[in-house]
Structure 1
Amino acid sequence: MKIDQLQTPCYVIDEKKMRENLEILKKVQEDTGCKILLAQKAFSGFALYPMIGKYLAGTTASGLFEARLGYEEMGKENHVFSPAYRTEDIEELDHICDHIIFNSTAQLKKFKEVCTGASLGLRINPECSTQGDHAIYDPCAPGSRLGVTRENFDVECLKWIDGLHFHTLCEQNADDLEKTLQAVEEKFGEFLSEVSWLNMGGGHHITREDYDVKLLEKCIQHMKETYDLDIYLEPGEAVALNAGYLVTEVMDIVENEIRTLIVDASAACHMPDVLEMPYRPPLKDSGEAGEKAYT
């Protein structure tokens, strides 16, 4: 079926492109011995989970329902991080998740006795901002609620955790990861040999054409060999990058100083980042802004 024959609006997943992305991620795993997880908050098309599971180590979740999805539909390693957990959810998470990562010392202390099956981790904040255009998503910004800073790190926590986690990137290249790791080592290096795993979070645009895969692999190997750590990455967009389309139809053209197209899709419902960031979404064959007769 041709794309212009589809009933709109609809999402179309390009399985061939998805496989190409997954092959790149699989090679990084093979080259370095790291484990790569699908961040489900970026892509949760579970019809493709059996395919994705052939390439990746598992899934990561931002809450109970995503954790259930990864557990039920992929059935491999299942990790979860949330800024805070509900008491009524934590027992189920401990049952279905391999890793539970806490955002604060208080949350860790509150639930450490309840969690008897999962490996526990603590999110750290290296206080190293690398985001220019994506400042709204910067977890290292002053006053950030995400992760424990070095000043607030309680060494007693090392008795209860197996790993540390950081997530500071958004659609970024490996040079920003390298810079972040320098900050991680500077602030938390003394603790890295006390844990068994390090989760480098998401935001790694690994499948982008200009991404420096060699530098990524160098960073992974350095942390792995220097501190004897198992390394995890949690890319989301990199798994599905350029592998899907929102197909819409022009319903009308409105004239009022400018010409505006009315389409059968909603930015708020189908492309919320366009409003939240905000940014100009990619439109097939549209060129750059101002390049063609209509933008």
Structure 2
Amino acid sequence: MNTNLLQHLADPAIPSPCFILEEAKLRRNLELIDSVQKAAGVTIILALKGFSMYSAFPLVHEYLSGATASSLNEIKLVNDYMGVKAHTYIPAYRDDEFDEVVERSSHLTFNSWSQWERFKGRAVGRVSCGIRVNPQYSEVATEMYNPCVPGSRLGATRDQLPDQLPDGLEGLHFHTLCENDSFTLERTLEALEARFSDLLHQAKWVNFGGGHLMTREGYDTAHLVGLLTAFRQKYNVDVILEPGSAIAWQTGVLVSTVLDVLDSQGIHVAILDTSFAAHMPDTLEMPYKPRIIHAYHEPVAGKPTYRLGGMTCLAGDFMGDYSFDAPLQVGDKIVFDDMIHYTMVKTTTFNGVNLPSIGIWKEGETFQLVRTYGYESFKDRLS
């Protein structure tokens, strides 16, 4: 975390709780991703499901030509704040939205053959159409995030597709990775080619989906470039990647404040002004234990140790346990690291808790408050 930012967290101009994007770190990631797409001759686009902070879209668009969307609302965000049409994939298209979706998209992926049959007459000639395929291979351990589990609704298996791509169906799309490396991609491509090589030779473009965590330390980008280049040349196709986490990986924090410290049957608890359930749901869904700046990730004997509780009344809205060098006091800042991807996009106002504010630590070492939330944001979700 930027040292100057850490020193400024006590500044009343920085609200709590608050997501803070570090602009310089986002640019660093984009520069690396851009180097991959240029070296491999592929197109890499932003996946809004992982990072929809549209105040940062001008910076993203300096390096990436577009974005992928999975709803009409996401499509409109791409149109309005990146100034381009979207690469669109929605598991099932609504009849009443379909024509607007087509009008606002450059690429459109169908999830099933039945969706293609139903809507092809309204799409072919207006947008580049593709279909999502299921290679029936994934190394994602958490079933909730694995699109290849038996009975998955995501993508067509080989037996559901014909031997010849029909006129107007130009692309294939697969997405089976989740924060994986290039060697997992290599094994996935082997499974994809074993089942779909005949159709790959007929396609004009292949979308590799997301899950390519190329900005993680230790990721072998040279190996990735080799895989992408070889695939593109072998099948003479345009290759598209749409990473979610990689764009905003380790680019910012969620700042919170201790509201209360108490003893619960011998366990020290600190209650925060944020919520794991409402503001960091991935920590409970995946699940994973988020890292905290200047805290020990696991309990350390002899050091003050706390279970951290969220501010909702959900009994399971807690995370623990962490150790600190000094006892926590009301008003202390707790800073959760790497909280920009798959966080803002999933927040809720459960229990009426306010959403965290959103800010940017600019490259010029100043703080810009982008958005705050209150009663109206909560009320607007209800009726």
Scaled to the shorter chain, the TM-score interval is over 0.9
Aligned to 2:251: 243
Which residues of 2 match residues 1-295 of structure 1 at below 5 A?
A: 2-5=8-11, 6-115=14-123, 116-132=125-141, 134-155=142-163, 157-257=165-265, 258-291=267-300, 293=303, 294=305, 295=322
Are the equivalent residues in 2 in contact too, given 1:123–1:165 (CA < 8 A)? Answer: yes
Q: Which has the larger radius of gyration?
A: 2
1:135 Cα shift?
A: 3.1
TM-score (norm. length: structure 2): 0.74
1:149 Cα shift?
A: 0.7
Q: Which amino acid aligns with 1:271?
A: M
Q: Which amino acid aligns with 1:280?
A: K
> For the residues of structure 2 that align with 1:45 and 1:74, how far apart are their CA atoms?
11
More helix by share: 1
Paired residue secondary structure (1:93): helix
TM-score (norm. length: structure 1): 0.96
1:31 Cα shift?
A: 0.3
Paired residue secondary structure (2:38): helix
Q: Which amino acid aligns with 2:107?
A: H
> For the residues of structure 1 that align with 2:165 and 2:93, how far apart are their CA atoms?
18
Q: Which amino acid aligns with 2:87?
A: H
5+ residue gaps in structure 1?
none
> For the residues of structure 1 that align with 2:296 and 2:238, how far apart are their CA atoms?
43
> For the residues of structure 2 that align with 1:27 and 1:98, how far apart are their CA atoms?
24
> For the residues of structure 2 that align with 1:286 and 1:168, how far apart are their CA atoms?
34
> For the residues of structure 1 that align with 2:29 and 2:285, how far apart are their CA atoms?
26
> For the residues of structure 1 that align with 2:300 and 2:242, how far apart are their CA atoms?
36
Are the equivalent residues in 2 in contact too, given 1:50–1:74 (CA < 8 A)? Answer: yes
> For the residues of structure 2 that align with 1:253 and 1:59, how far apart are their CA atoms?
44
> For the residues of structure 1 that align with 2:118 and 2:300, how far apart are their CA atoms?
56
Are the equivalent residues in 1 in contact too, given 2:128–2:168 (CA < 8 A)? Answer: no
What count of residue pairs does the alignment treat as equivalent? 294
> For the residues of structure 2 that align with 1:22 and 1:3, how far apart are their CA atoms?
26
Q: CA RMSD in A?
A: 1.4
